[in-house]
Amino acid sequence: MTRATTPDSRYSFPNGGLLPQEEMLEVGKKPKNLIIGLPMEDQDQESRVSLTPEAVEILVNNGHEVRIENNAGKASNYSNAEYIEKGGVIIDKKEEIYSSDILLKIAPPTLKELKLLNPQQILFSSLHLHSQNKEFMQELITRRITAIAFEKIKDENNSYPVTSSMSAIAGNTSVLIAAEYLSNLRGGKGVMLGGITGITPTEVVILGAGTAAEYAVRAAMGLGAFVKVFDQSVPRLRRLQNSVGMRLHTSVFHPRVIKNALKSADVLIGAIHMIEKGPRFFVTEDMVKVMKKGSVIVDISIDQGGCVETSEFRNQHDPVFIKHGVVHYCVPNIPSSVARTASIAISNVLLPLLLEMGESGGLNRKLKEDQGLRHGVYVYNGILTNEFIGKLFDLPSKDIDLFMAAF
């Protein structure tokens, strides 16, 4: 009687015979030591830095090299000595910083800075798509860079950690800015934002019901102000109401209702996310004209073009102007005015990504494993991978998932 046998996967059977074959073993991940560069920002426009000295210490202790351009952390009140003490290397030559494997930059690089980059380098920065042009994208493509936008990175909860933290900071800070410009110290009409017993509280109108708006609501209500919130979406307003845990005056957008609310408002905060097909302005010039003299507008949406018709781009050195008797604060990048807090928030997001990238053996394997990080990539090895950007600038694009099968 012949005994049946089960073929072993380690053997082949040419012409019915048995020959030994190599046994295939899974190759483990090989960690990679990264060279990370922190370039100097244009401090007229940007005060934040991507990594704190504490984050640098952790990276160095894990075998990575961190190069910091001379005084890159100064605007965030981080000295060269603090970075050196934590194991960072201070570099004077910009070219040496830009030769790092990975560049961590807050603001998008200028065209002049892009020309310092080499093929296969990895750029982490904000994208600021509304202020970009085709030439910028073509330069990234030509130089075969992999570019990752901070604001597009997702976490395990499918949210945007950098965007959320910066929005929270902007919302909170916008109320403090409004309070400052209502006071005598800034030439305001001498009104306290909030209220005390026996005095009618100041009124704050907030456009939007997202993260920035929520934190603006919390800050204004915490000071005792009477708050009115407007948004296009009833579900968003309901979510905000539930999140704050208090009854709010809420309304969907209606020009007449907004105009009536602005007549008695002391502060207007524009914290609405602008979309391509939405209205260009939510507050028209005629609406601004009915506001009280000395009232304050803080247009957080100015980095997307602004949601108030009278808004104009300003910077931290010349942040305000007066139109129709109303003070306008229209500075993009409000978190930069509290640079240290904002830097810590960004560093907290980037540090674990960099550590995981090193443990994975580099960016490619990390991208394969991490869909949230992959979502932030808009140029991969010189190939545009964001369809929206491709349509915007009439450039060909490919889905990044097509490249992941190679790893």
* Residues 188 and 305 placed together within one structural domain of the fold: yes
* Residues 143 and 228 placed together within one structural domain of the fold: no
Q: Quick check: 261 and 267 in contact, CB under 8 A?
A: no
- Domain contains 70: yes
Q: Is 256 exposed, middle or buried (0-12, 13-18, 19+ CB in 10 A)?
A: exposed
Q: Region 378-384: what's the mean pLDDT? A: 96
* pLDDT at residue 125 tops 90: yes
d(CA 306, CA 314): 11
pLDDT of residue 274: 72
Percentage of the chain with pLDDT > 90?
Answer: 79
The DSSP bridge partners found for residue 149 are 125
The range of the structural domain enclosing residue 100 comes to 35-152+338-406
- Domain contains 22: no
pLDDT of residue 278: 59
pLDDT of residue 28: 56
Stated as kind and residue range, the H or E segment containing 218 is helix 211-222
When mean pLDDT is compared across 14-18, 198-202, 205-209, 306-310, the lowest value belongs to 14-18
* Residues 356 and 316 placed together within one structural domain of the fold: no
- CB contact set of 172 (below 8 Å; sequence gap of 6+): 215, 216, 218, 219
- The pLDDT confidence band at residue 14, using thresholds 50, 70 and 90, is very low
Please tell me the total count of domains within the chain: 2
- Domain contains 15: no
- The pLDDT confidence band at residue 42, using thresholds 50, 70 and 90, is confident
* pLDDT at residue 365 tops 70: yes
Q: Region 38-54: what's the mean pLDDT? A: 90
User: What does the pLDDT look like over 284-293, one tens digit per residue?
Assistant: 999 999 999 9
Q: Region 47-59: what's the mean pLDDT? A: 97
pLDDT of residue 332: 86
- The pLDDT confidence band at residue 5, using thresholds 50, 70 and 90, is very low
* Residues 173 and 321 placed together within one structural domain of the fold: yes
- Domain contains 124: yes
- Domain contains 17: no
Q: What is the pTM of this model?
A: 0.86
d(CA 68, CA 316): 24
pLDDT of residue 403: 85
Q: What is the DSSP letter of 269?
A: E
**Domain end (from 332, 367, 383):** 332
Q: Region 65-70: what's the mean pLDDT? A: 97
pLDDT of residue 30: 79
* Residues 175 and 141 placed together within one structural domain of the fold: no
User: What does the pLDDT look like over 140-178, one tens digit per residue?
Assistant: 999 999 999 999 999 998 999 999 999 999 999 999 999
- The pLDDT confidence band at residue 19, using thresholds 50, 70 and 90, is low
28 or 198: which carries more pLDDT confidence?
198
* Residues 181 and 61 placed together within one structural domain of the fold: no
Q: Region 33-41: what's the mean pLDDT? A: 95
Percentage of the chain with pLDDT > 70?
Answer: 91
Q: Region 268-281: what's the mean pLDDT? A: 78
Q: Is 337 exposed, middle or buried (0-12, 13-18, 19+ CB in 10 A)?
A: middle
pLDDT of residue 195: 84
* pLDDT at residue 11 tops 50: no
- CB contact set of 134 (below 8 Å; sequence gap of 6+): 393, 394, 395
CATH (domain of 44):
3.40.50.720
* Residues 185 and 142 placed together within one structural domain of the fold: no
- Domain contains 243: yes
**Domain end (from 308, 332, 356):** 332
**Domain end (from 292, 314, 332):** 332
Average pLDDT, the chain: 90
Measured over the CA atoms of residue 321, residue 291, residue 206 and residue 309, the dihedral's sign is: negative
* Residues 135 and 202 placed together within one structural domain of the fold: no
Q: Region 99-103: what's the mean pLDDT? A: 96
- Domain contains 27: no
- Domain contains 13: no
Q: State the catalytic residues.
A: 128
99 or 305: which carries more pLDDT confidence?
99
* pLDDT at residue 266 tops 80: yes
